[in-house]
């Protein structure tokens, strides 16, 4: 995916940079690390080397045994002449944590160690995540430095408020959690290829009431749908997420509409579908529901109830019948066993979809209620692409890539890319 150069300066929060590197790698990025000498007092280079699988550079005159290559890239035949090869080839240079001292150097163009020299030489977007004691953070000198950096196009990732490292102190200056740092990184690395597009995503599993406390449900956690919504938003789309019983936080910018039953989901889809350009139907919608759910709780002493079931509406089929030209419809099929792909293909045809994402739920550790997934994306145009087992956000990237290809085929929809805007986030 992308080459991320992570600069780590001195501060207790340096430990969060380790986790940030790990999450970035899990999201498919190739990560190299530059540390300041002071940061080594907090986290040693061996830890970053173990996580990134690449040498860490600290000194300006240190040679790079990986010759400027990022993990996954072949080792160049010759060592680069410049010690700045890493930043020259980076897609993003993220400095986290950025100490008050490092920020002051960056603001004034000082280049007295490899981290600050690389910042001065960076042609890629630069992001800094300040972390320090709150008095240092609020000091007019630090604030002026941050203002100068932001005015120059550097993304400043605002610190959070809360308990600080020094005992008993509270205030602003905490490095955001690695998940947040990764979210900003992803946003900066992703070109807005879906800019101006309206994407409707359904996620989670519906619950069909038996009585006032019991329901028939399924094992869907909603993670796949939430990952799709996050990825679409990262690519610049206006995203609406219809979420059925998912206890997850949506990505920034995603509008959420919560539903519980298949009927509520069908209604929400009916309202939202008209204006959507893309539908990603990842929700596990119940096919049957109990006839006449009891208003109150069924009591044991009334005997074992027998449940009569009735079919729910097939939401996707209903929407396909109403589709307008140019809309892209993607279904999801959880199939069991060796014929999963064939079953998926016939579902793609039967439901007249543009694509279907098939997974074989007989495999352990993927799909329902899991962090990972392994899918095959089938398209109406005959494409069949297997996505090996990966984190759901990576699978989401592959699905959105397929949507972009379909849009290009169907409507000649042009890919748009632009530089990320400089800001304080
Ligand atoms: N789906 C839907 N409404 C339903 C059931 C499913 O919109 N009542 C959607 C799902 O969100 C998914 C696709 O249809 O995108 C395929 O779901 P699946 O349950 O695999 O398909 P079914 O048509 O229910 O087929 P079967 O149960 O026979 O496998």
Model confidence pLDDT, tens digit, residues 108-139:
999 999 999 999 999 899 999 999 999 999 99
Q: Is the pLDDT of residue 376 over 90?
A: yes
pLDDT in the model for residue 68: 94
Q: Is the pLDDT of residue 391 over 90?
A: no
Pocket residue to mutate for ligand 1, from 204, 331, 355, most atoms within 8 A of Cβ:
331
What domains lie within the chain, and their CATH numbers? 3-188 (3.40.50.1950), 192-412 (3.40.50.10300)
Q: Determine whether the shortest distance from the Cβ of 262 to ligand 1 is under 6 A.
A: yes
Residue nearest to atom 20 of ligand 1 (CA): 333
Q: Determine whether the shortest distance from the Cβ of 367 to ligand 1 is under 6 A.
A: no
pLDDT digits 0-9 by tens, 312-356: 999 999 999 999 999 999 999 999 888 999 999 999 999 999 999
pLDDT digits 0-9 by tens, 256-267: 999 999 999 999
Atom number, ligand 1, closest to the C-alpha of residue 316: 7
- Compute, in angstroms, the gap from residue 331 CA to the centroid of ligand 1: 8
Q: Is the pLDDT of residue 413 over 60?
A: no
Q: Is the pLDDT of residue 423 over 80?
A: no
Atom number, ligand 1, closest to the C-alpha of residue 343: 29
pLDDT in the model for residue 337: 85
Q: Determine whether the shortest distance from the Cβ of 224 to ligand 1 is under 6 A.
A: no
Average of per-residue pLDDT values in the chain: 92
Q: pLDDT band for position 414 (50/70/90)? A: very low
- Compute, in angstroms, the gap from residue 417 CA to the centroid of ligand 1: 35
Q: Determine whether the shortest distance from the Cβ of 314 to ligand 1 is under 6 A.
A: yes
Pocket residue to mutate for ligand 1, from 288, 347, 358, most atoms within 8 A of Cβ:
347
- Compute, in angstroms, the gap from residue 77 CA to the centroid of ligand 1: 53
Q: Is the pLDDT of residue 272 over 60?
A: yes
Q: Determine whether the shortest distance from the Cβ of 283 to ligand 1 is under 6 A.
A: yes
Residue nearest to atom 8 of ligand 1 (CA): 314
Q: Is the pLDDT of residue 419 over 70?
A: no
- Percentage of residues in the chain with pLDDT exceeding 70? 96
pLDDT digits 0-9 by tens, 276-303: 999 999 999 999 999 999 999 999 999 9
Residue nearest to atom 21 of ligand 1 (CA): 333
pLDDT in the model for residue 53: 97
Q: How far apart are CA 340 and CA 359, in angstroms?
A: 7
Atom number, ligand 1, closest to the C-alpha of residue 315: 7
- Compute, in angstroms, the gap from residue 349 CA to the centroid of ligand 1: 13
Q: Between the CA of residue 253 and those of 60, 228, 233, 236, what are the distances in Å? A: 41, 13, 7, 10
Q: pLDDT band for position 411 (50/70/90)? A: low
pLDDT in the model for residue 417: 33
pLDDT in the model for residue 418: 35
- Compute, in angstroms, the gap from residue 223 CA to the centroid of ligand 1: 18
Q: Determine whether the shortest distance from the Cβ of 331 to ligand 1 is under 6 A.
A: yes
pLDDT in the model for residue 338: 87
Q: Determine whether the shortest distance from the Cβ of 334 to ligand 1 is under 6 A.
A: yes
Indicate which residues carry an active-site annotation: 218
- Compute, in angstroms, the gap from residue 422 CA to the centroid of ligand 1: 43
Atom number, ligand 1, closest to the C-alpha of residue 202: 11
- Compute, in angstroms, the gap from residue 137 CA to the centroid of ligand 1: 53
pLDDT in the model for residue 422: 46
Residue nearest to atom 6 of ligand 1 (CA): 285
């Amino acid at each position: 995916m992308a080459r991320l150069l992570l600069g780590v300066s001195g501060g207790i929060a340096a430990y969060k940079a380790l986790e940030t590197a790990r999450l970035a790698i899990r999201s498919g990025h190739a990560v190299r690390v530059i540390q300041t000498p002071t940061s080594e007092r907090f986290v040693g280079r061996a830890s970053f080397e173990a996580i990134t699988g690449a040498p860490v550079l600290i000194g300006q005159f240190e040679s790079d045994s990986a010759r400027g290559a990022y993990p996954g890239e072949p080792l160049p035949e010759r060592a680069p002449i410049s010690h700045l090869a890493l930043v020259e080839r980076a897609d993003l240079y993220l400095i986290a944590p950025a100490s008050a001292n490092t920020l002051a150097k960056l603001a004034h163009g000082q280049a007295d160690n490899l981290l600050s020299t690389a910042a001065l030489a960076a042609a890629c977007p630069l992001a800094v995540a300040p972390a320090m004691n709150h008095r240092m953070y609020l000091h007019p000198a630090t604030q002026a430095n941050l203002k100068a950096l932001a005015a120059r196009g550097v993304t400043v990732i605002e610190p959070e408020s809360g308990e600080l490292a020094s005992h008993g102190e509270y205030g602003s200056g905490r490095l955001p959690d690695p998940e947040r740092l990764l979210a900003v990184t992803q946003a900066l690395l992703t070109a807005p290829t879906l800019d101006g597009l309206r994407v409707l995503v359904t996620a989670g599993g519906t619950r069909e009431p038996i009585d006032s406390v019991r329901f028939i449900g399924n094992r869907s956690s909603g993670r796949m749908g939430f990952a799709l919504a996050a990825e679409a938003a990262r690519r610049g789309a206006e995203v609406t997420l219809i979420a059925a019983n998912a206890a997850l936080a949506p990505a920034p910018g995603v509008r959420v509409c919560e539903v519980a039953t298949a009927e509520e989901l069908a209604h929400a889809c009916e309202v939202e579908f008209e204006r959507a350009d893309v539908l990603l139907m990842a929700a596990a919608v119940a096919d049957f529901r109990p006839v006449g759910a009891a208003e109150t709780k069924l009591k044991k002493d009334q005997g074992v109830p027998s449940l009569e079931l009735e079919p729910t509406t097939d939401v996707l089929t209903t929407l396909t019948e109403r589709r307008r030209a140019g809309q892209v419809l993607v279904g999801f099929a959880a199939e069991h066993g060796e014929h999963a792909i064939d079953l998926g293909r016939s579902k793609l045809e039967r439901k007249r979809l543009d694509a279907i994402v098939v997974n074989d739920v007989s495999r352990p550790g993927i799909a329902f209620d899991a962090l990972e997934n392994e899918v095959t994306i089938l398209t109406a145009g005959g494409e069949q692409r297997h996505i090996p087992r990966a984190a759901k956000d990576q699978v989401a990237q592959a699905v959105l890539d397929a949507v972009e290809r379909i849009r290009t085929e169907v409507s000649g929809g042009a890919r748009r890319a632009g530089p990320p805007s400089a800001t304080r986030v």
